[in-house]
Structure 1
Amino acid sequence: MAKVPVLKQCTVSDVLQSDTTVERLSTYLERNRNLVFPHRHNFYHFVLFTAGGGQHSIDFDTFDVVPWQIYFMSPGQIHTWDFKGEMEGYVVNFEADIFNAILQRSDYLSHYSFLSGLVQNDVFEVREDDRDHIIHILERLRSQKQDKDFVCISLLYLFHIFEQQRKGVASERMPAYNHTLLRNFLNLVEEHYKTLRLPKEYADMLYITPNHLNALCKEKLGFSAGEIIRNRVILEAKRLLVIEDYSVSEIAYDLNFKDNSYFTKFFKKKEGMTPEEFRKIQR
């Protein structure tokens, strides 16, 4: 069966063998002008817009492009764009393992809010006070992208700037313990959403009560733990529905629903339309 294309760096990069791409958005789009179909990446990807318009979508959430907006994408997310006008800005693609030589923690990237895989955290506007400084760093990265140590340190410094800005949006910083719990919960959902659907099952793995897990999710993410699990199931259903060769029955089976009818009811209750109607709209 056909699948949503998963792009590798060598497909979109200006260099055949590279674990990092740093270049001007206009150059990147000129080389990848046909990349307007839904696709996934097997690498991390972020774009800073400095000019242009139109729209882009990440996992079916659509955003209007505005100057100084930045978006982040983690591997596996589905992305499309419909840009308008003269686009300018910067594109950075990088492999997760480029930091292995200088970081001892393999899960380090997951602690950045904008690399959580939650779309509401992945798109934001860069603060005006930071803009000139960020452009300077990106230009240095662009000119010295072959220096792997410089790239790694500069990217981590950029991430620190972005994370400080994101924390400024929140009214208070999440305690480290709660942050770890929430991050572990989201990782467990990503791993088990096809087979485990009850908050209690995840709470047991985290050694906390379902009430504690639910309260933490509502406070920090705005959704109950059950909603987060169901949202992940719906997201995967949407990803599969944009693949024309997958039947609704095959999707229901892949997502571990007992039958097609139950899957359709589940989807319609959440989205207000049947899977077939959603697929028709996406086409």
Structure 2
Amino acid sequence: MIKRIEDIGTLYEWGGLDRTPVTPQFDVLKHQETYPFMKAVLPPHRRNFYSLIFLEDQQAGSMIINNTQYQQRRDVLFCQSPDHVFSFVRGDALEGYLVFFSAEFLLPMVKDLRTEYSFFALLNTNLFQLSPDEKSGILKLLTLLYQERDNLAVARYVLLGLLEKVRGIQQRNLQAAANLSKPDRLVQQFHRLVNVYYIEKRQVAAYAALLGVTANYLNELVKKTTGISAKKHLQNRLCLEAKNLLRASSSDIAEIAYFLGFSEPTNFGKFFKQQEGCSPKYYRENR
């Protein structure tokens, strides 16, 4: 079972950040404010709230989210919902903003965040590379939100404005995605689902059901498009997360096994050796 973080304060406590959010339902801070306190590695988890993560300048180091590594990136916006699995390994220098808020924070103005703002949905794009004009608009609103963070009546409306701005950016991305063929779009959606459910769902049939196709069709399509089977993609995703944790975290191997949904560390060891040809301990000590 993937760890689930109940609220913003619990996230800070778990991550080692000595900070009290503006309210239990809302906070905004600069990446720079998390140094040197926040842990550099957070294992896979879900959060019962929403996140907007703006990287204005990543400088040195890297951030790994859903096992995609973002290195020396500028002007990137991530949109995370309670459905997403979040994990990261970060470097020593990040600039930008973090916004955390619960669905309740925007009631009654927004009744269903996932429906109203579909960039939080699992099958849609949740990461946007901002153009200079888009960055300017986003940064103005983030700066205002930060300045007005203690004035909740204002902060709510600024946050709504920010979400509306992201919706506009999403439209540009949707137009680009419209040029994809239906099979390519299906494979793209498969990859997004794998990034979310790779710990809980390890059978291709489970992903086929979510996508409304048969397991055989999904297997054939994924292999034709990518060169490897859908099952191998699932195994690779799980193994890559394991390697991230073995390299970057101080958790012992048994803890990592449980983080990744294995009932016993020995089962994790067998899986890892099948994929990598060595034990988790050997990998950690020699890679």
TM-score normalised by the shorter chain: which range applies?
0.5 to 0.7
Let me know the Cα RMSD of the aligned residues.
4.7
Matches of 2:157 and 2:180, distance apart in 1: 30
Matches of 2:285 and 2:73 in 1, distance apart? Answer: 29
Rounded to whole Å, the distance in 2 between the matches of 1:109 and 1:222 is 37
1:93 matched to 2:100: yes
Q: TM-score, normalising length from structure 2?
A: 0.65
One-letter amino acid of the structure 2 residue matched with residue 129 of structure 1: D
Total equivalences in the alignment = 265
Q: Which residue number in structure 2 is paired with residue 55 of structure 1? A: 61
**Are the aligned partners of 2:50 and 2:101 in contact in 1 as well (CA < 8 Å)?**
yes
The Cα shift of 1:5 comes to: 11
Matched AA of 1:62: Q
Contact 2:199 2:238 in 1 (8 A): yes
Q: Distance in 1 between matches of 2:195 and 2:206?
A: 10
The answer to whether the 8 A contact 1:141-1:151 is kept is yes
Q: How far apart are 1:150 and its partner, in Å?
A: 0.8
**Is residue 207 of structure 2 the alignment partner of residue 199 of structure 1?**
no
Q: What residue is the counterpart of 1:137 in the other structure?
A: 141
Q: 1:69 to 1:197 in 2, by over 3 A?
A: closer
In the TM superposition, what whole-angstrom CA distance separates every residue of 1:177-209 from its partner, at most 9, and x where no partner exists? x77x948x928972x854x53323543576532
Amino acid at match of 1:38: V
Matching residue of 1:21:
27
Q: Deviations over 1:201-256 (max 9, x none)?
A: 54357653224434665799997532443345435645765463443896599425
Paired with 1:82 and 1:199, the residues of 2 have a C-alpha distance of: 34
Could you report, residue by residue, the CA deviation over 1:127-182 in whole angstroms, capped at 9, with x for unpaired residues?
1232222222222322334135414422321331342343355462687xx77x94
Describe the superposition over 1:32-57 as per-residue Cα deviations: whole angstroms up to 9, x where unpaired.
Answer: 42224312673443432334611222
**C-alpha contact (below 8 Å) 1:54/1:83 kept by paired residues:** yes
| SS class of match (1:53) | coil
Contact 1:4 1:243 in 2 (8 A): no
When normalised by structure 1's length, the TM-score is 0.66
- Out of 215, 234, 239, the position equivalent to 1:229 is 234
Deviations 1:241-276 (A, max 9, x none): 54634438965994258x83x644532454565322
Percent of paired sites with the same residue: 21
Partner-residue secondary structure (3-state), 2:100: strand
Matched, 1:78 2:87: yes
Say whether the 8 Å CA contact 1:22–1:142 is kept in structure 2. Answer: yes
Q: Give the distance between the partners of 1:99 and 1:213, measured in 2 at CA.
A: 38
The amino acid across from 1:91 in the alignment is L
**Of the candidates 62, 67, 72, which is equivalent to residue 65 of structure 1?**
72
1:94-173 alignment, distance < 5 Å: 94-99=101-106, 101-105=108-112, 107-108=114-115, 111-112=118-119, 116=122, 124-145=128-149, 146-147=152-153, 149-167=156-174, 169-170=176-177, 172=179
Deviations 1:82-137 (CA, angstroms, capped at 9, x unpaired): 234xx543222223554553444464389427x6499xx65553112322222222
Amino acid of the structure 2 residue aligned with 1:33: P
Dislocated runs of 4+, deviation >6 Å: 218-223
Give unmatched runs, 5+ long, in structure 1. none
Higher normalized contact order (CA 8 Å, seq sep 6+, divided by chain length): 2
Cα distance, 1:248–1:21 mapped onto 2, change above 3 Å: closer
2:40 maps to 1:37: yes
Distance 1:112 1:270, change over 3 A: farther
